[in-house]
Amino acid sequence: MEPAYRTSLRALRAEDHITWRDRSFPDGDVAITDVAAQRWNLLDGTFHLPVMALRRSALDRNLSLMRDYCLAHDVLLAPHAKTTMSPHLAAEQLDAGAWGITVANVEQARVFISAGVRRLLIANPVVGAADLTYLAVQRRIDPDLDVLTLIDSDAAVEIMDTALRELGEDLPRMPVLIEVGYAGGRGGVRTTADAMDVADAVRRSQHLELVGIEGFEGLVPGDTVDDQRRRAKTFLSWSASVVHRLHERELLSRDTPIVSFGGSSFFDLVVSCFRDEWVGPRVDVVLRSGCYLTHDHGIYARTSPLLHQAPGPLPAVEVWGEVLSCPEPNLAVVGVGRRDVSTDAGLPIPIAVRRARVTREPVGLQVTAVNDQHAFVAVSGGDELQVGDLVCFGVSHPCTTFDKWRLIPLITEDHEVIDAIRTYF
């Protein structure tokens, strides 16, 4: 039987057409399902620039790498869909064996529940009235819908339990994970004592059940990557001690509780802590890496644990723009800016130049600054650019490139457009 997410995706795509709202795409009312039949090429002058594209071959490589990694290490994967906000790409991740999908809030959960996803981890506490009402309604409509949320305070327990008392007396208990955190980080209890207090509050509640813990090690501060890894390992070791203490006090409702960590940089440390070095009752380890799917030319090109695999991950995201001006010696201004590409974790990286239908690697190009619509490219090392040249940029941190594009061409190695990926930011 076809999974619900595949049925829903087919229905979404069947009614979806390319319009003027879909930047970069050629004019014309073309059905999404008919994109391949148009025989478009991204770089032959058909598409308006700038344009973001995804390479099919890179997505396939990265999906396989993460699937094999999780199988080899006996861990589950609930990729964070905030990266792409695309039911199409989430369906590919689920097809490749993902256990579920992670989202940041109920607004994002609505997208994927509507798209047929039936297991979601909301990686934040849910305390809003509209959000709790929505989840109660959806759980009543579909008893098979499995939604986990976080909790890190007695106050959040009280808000959730009170709301569910009014909304969901007929529903089974809502599964929650205690969020653990570190000093200076975002949400999460900071001490073992705080974790026990929250667990006790959940036990006293009428409508919640504690099924495990959750945390995020990816933003642990450090002066270097090695320093970050050391601090992340310390944080994970303490988190493991919290799990042991919850076991000892019999505060976990499941025989095999969930332990969920793992950004896209240090998930190997999660595996080491909760698989390789773990001593105690079995836990289900759920990684939440999202950016593994597309990898990048920046932060994850330096930190992804998949770099140790052979073959390794491939960057799937590229953003093309035209050289608009060469106003000074050794300076080119390209029509790609903050509205088009991520800049929060590093400036875009020139990876290709195209002129007269010939593409080459750059030898001396570097982005030194960006405006809303422009990239300032320093030209050196014997390289040169002309007005009208096309420049391809790789990105650092794909999340904040995806959110700038409603519809993204899916391309072959020859830049033939074989599909289009809709996002729902």
Integer Cα distance of 42 and 410 in angstroms: 9
| Average pLDDT across the chain, whole number | 97
Kindly tell me if the per-residue pLDDT of 323 is higher than 90.
yes
Per-residue pLDDT, 284: 98
Planar angle of CA 417, 423, 425, nearest 5 degrees: 150
**3-state percent breakdown (helix, strand, coil) of the chain, nearest 5:** 35, 25, 40
Integer Cα distance of 75 and 286 in angstroms: 6
Confidence bin at 122 (pLDDT 50/70/90): very high
Q: Where are the domains positioned within the chain? A: 4-55+313-422, 56-304
Does the pTM of the predicted model rise above 0.85? yes
List b or e across 171-194, with b for residues whose CB sees 16 or more CB atoms inside 10 angstroms: eebbbbbbbbbbeebebbbeebeb
Name the percent of the chain lying above pLDDT 90: 96
Confidence bin at 40 (pLDDT 50/70/90): very high
Per-residue pLDDT, 85: 98
Average pLDDT on 157-182 reads: 94
Per-residue pLDDT, 377: 98
Confidence bin at 169 (pLDDT 50/70/90): confident
Chain-centre distance for alpha carbon 80: 4
Residue 321 neighbours by CB under 8 Å, 6+ apart: 49, 50, 334, 335, 336, 340, 375, 390, 391, 393
Q: Which amino acid is at 23?
A: R
Kindly tell me if the per-residue pLDDT of 262 is higher than 90.
no
User: Which phi and psi angles does 339 have, rounded to 5°?
Assistant: -75, -5
Integer Cα distance of 278 and 198 in angstroms: 24
Average pLDDT on 251-280 reads: 95
Kindly tell me if the per-residue pLDDT of 266 is higher than 90.
yes
Average pLDDT on 95-100 reads: 98
* H or E segment and range at residue 129: helix 129-141
Name the percent of the chain lying above pLDDT 70: 100
410 forms bridges with which residues in the sheet? 54, 419
Neighbours of 294 (CB within 10 A): 26
Determine which of 41-50, 164-173, 282-291 has the lowest per-residue pLDDT on average: 164-173
CATH class given for the domain over 4-55+313-422: mainly beta
Residue 364 neighbours by CB under 8 Å, 6+ apart: 379, 380, 381, 382, 383
Give the pLDDT confidence of 358-390 residue by residue, as tens digits: 999 999 999 999 999 999 999 999 999 999 999
Average pLDDT on 331-359 reads: 97
Average pLDDT on 241-264 reads: 95
Neighbours of 314 (CB within 10 A): 15
Integer Cα distance of 417 and 425 in angstroms: 23
Kindly tell me if the per-residue pLDDT of 59 is higher than 90.
yes
Planar angle of CA 319, 101, 422, nearest 5 degrees: 35
Average pLDDT on 193-202 reads: 98
Chain-centre distance for alpha carbon 315: 14
Integer Cα distance of 21 and 338 in angstroms: 19
Quickly list DSSP for 299-356.
HHHHH-GGGGSSS-----EEEEEEEEEEEETTEEEES--TTTS--BTB--EEEEEEET
What would the two tokens of residue 373 be? 């619509």
Integer Cα distance of 145 and 253 in angstroms: 19
Give whole-number Cα distances, 344 to 30, 84, 265, 289, 310, in Å.
34, 16, 16, 19, 29
Neighbours of 49 (CB within 10 A): 19
Quickly list DSSP for 217-235.
-TT---SSHHHHHHHHHHH
User: 56-304, what's its fold?
Assistant: TIM Barrel (3.20.20)
Closest CA to 129 of 153, 84, 163: 163
What would the two tokens of residue 347 be? 């400036």
Confidence bin at 291 (pLDDT 50/70/90): very high
Per-residue pLDDT, 22: 97
Average pLDDT on 15-24 reads: 96
Kindly tell me if the per-residue pLDDT of 1 is higher than 90.
no
Please give the span between the terminal C-alpha atoms of the chain, in angstroms, as a whole number: 30
Kindly tell me if the per-residue pLDDT of 28 is higher than 90.
no
Is the preceding peptide bond at 257 cis, omega within 30 degrees of 0? no
